[in-house]
Amino acid sequence: MLMLVILSYCHLFLVKCGQGSTDDELSPTCVSSLLGIQIEAVAAGLWHTVCVSADSGIYAFGGNQFGQLGTGADPTETLPRLLESPKLENAHARSLSCGARHTAVITDDGKVFCWGWNKYGQLGLGDVIDRNIPSEVTVEGCVPKNVACGWWHTLLLAESPT
């Protein structure tokens, strides 16, 4: 069975370790609250972490100053929290990435969702308004395959429809 292990230093202020505390972690540490859940993918941002489970659950934890966890609320989450988003219900995340303060997901059916900090339009929604819940991004003329988030931008790897 696979388990999520935090390999590097996690600072107490950033609380992105998912251990339920704000203690520093200086060595590899299992995220015990996810034991028994088959995690298929993980992405880490500056202040947050997001994971996808085999049963299509998206778990988020860490800082949430800009809504980057997608929970619809403001509090920091010191333990992984399952996103309860009607937009992502029955959708499986194929690709995910975390930017400094935002998150992006591509689902198996080729839909793109972004949330979090949007000061520079990095969510791709045509504005600069932060989102604290997953918001669907309109992508026309191509089929999204992979996503990568940077500090102030988000990139899609896409192919032309056949």
- In terms of average pLDDT, the best of 7-11, 45-49, 52-56, 100-104 is 100-104
Report the CATH number at residue 144. Answer: 2.130.10.30
The total number of residues shown for the chain amounts to: 162
Residue 87's region, left for phi above 0, alpha for psi from -120 to 50, else beta, is alpha
Backbone angles phi, psi at 7, to 5 degrees: -90, -30
pLDDT, averaged across the chain? 86
pLDDT digits (tens, 9 = 90+) for 80-118: 999 999 999 888 999 999 999 999 999 999 999 999 999
Total domains, the chain? 1
Domain coverage including residue 117: 5-159
Q: What is the DSSP letter of 25?
A: B
**99-129: b (≥16 Cβ within 10 Å) or e:** bbbbbbbbbeeebbbbbbbbeeebbbbeeee
